[in-house]
Amino acid sequence: MAKFDIDRALIRELAALLAETGLSEIEVADKDHRLRVARQAAPVAFTQAAPTVPGHRPGNGAEPAAPVQPGNHPGALTSPMVGTVYLSPEPDKPPFVRAGQSVVKGQTLLLIEAMKTYNEIAAPRDGRVTLILVENGAPVEYAQALLVLE
């Protein structure tokens, strides 16, 4: 087995780039070597109270439906990229949308900054924002649920 030198400075530089950009992994390669640096994102748990059904009492024969996790909700809008999410156009401005607000197709819901570029995330259809699952300035991963649009 051939011994190779480990470029610790490159590893530190790549790790810093991961932290700066919110990426979960990065890989570089040349003709002879390949280096992959990855980090495991901290899991985020969301809890939501199960809805109550008027007149339903435990033990009356009707089983309540299992609550849907917000990220698995059929109306969950997911991130198309890795980056940092912003809920308002500027720090001192109101958010693009609030929970409970109706939106129209094409309306800006939030921004995701990736590689110093701000990407508008628009409503894919008319609906009502029922739940916002991310915090302003938080890093987001590809396919992470951002909000629920019903």
Give tens-digit pLDDT for 97-106.
998 999 999 9
The predicted pLDDT at position 2 comes to 54
Q: How far is it, in rounded angstroms, from Cα 105 to Cα 128? A: 11
Q: What amino acid is encoded at 107 in this protein? A: Q
Q: How far is it, in rounded angstroms, from Cα 12 to Cα 17? A: 9
Report residue 28 CA to chain centroid gap.
25
User: Mean pLDDT score of the chain, rounded to an integer?
Assistant: 76
28 vs 83, more confident = 83
Here the contacts of 11-18 (C-beta below 8 Å, separation 24 or greater) are 11/35, 11/37, 15/39
The predicted pLDDT at position 82 comes to 92
The predicted pLDDT at position 54 comes to 52
Above pLDDT 90, what percent of the chain?
A: 25
Name the helix (H) or strand (E) containing 61.
none
Give tens-digit pLDDT for 39-94.
655 444 444 444 544 554 444 445 555 454 555 567 788 888 899 999 999 888 99
Closest CA to 32 of 9, 4, 1: 4
The predicted pLDDT at position 70 comes to 54
Rounded mean pLDDT of 116-136? 90
Name the helix (H) or strand (E) containing 77.
strand 76-78
Give tens-digit pLDDT for 129-143.
988 888 999 999 988
Coil, helix or strand for 26? strand
Domains in the chain with CATH codes: 8-38 (no CATH), 73-149 (2.40.50.100)
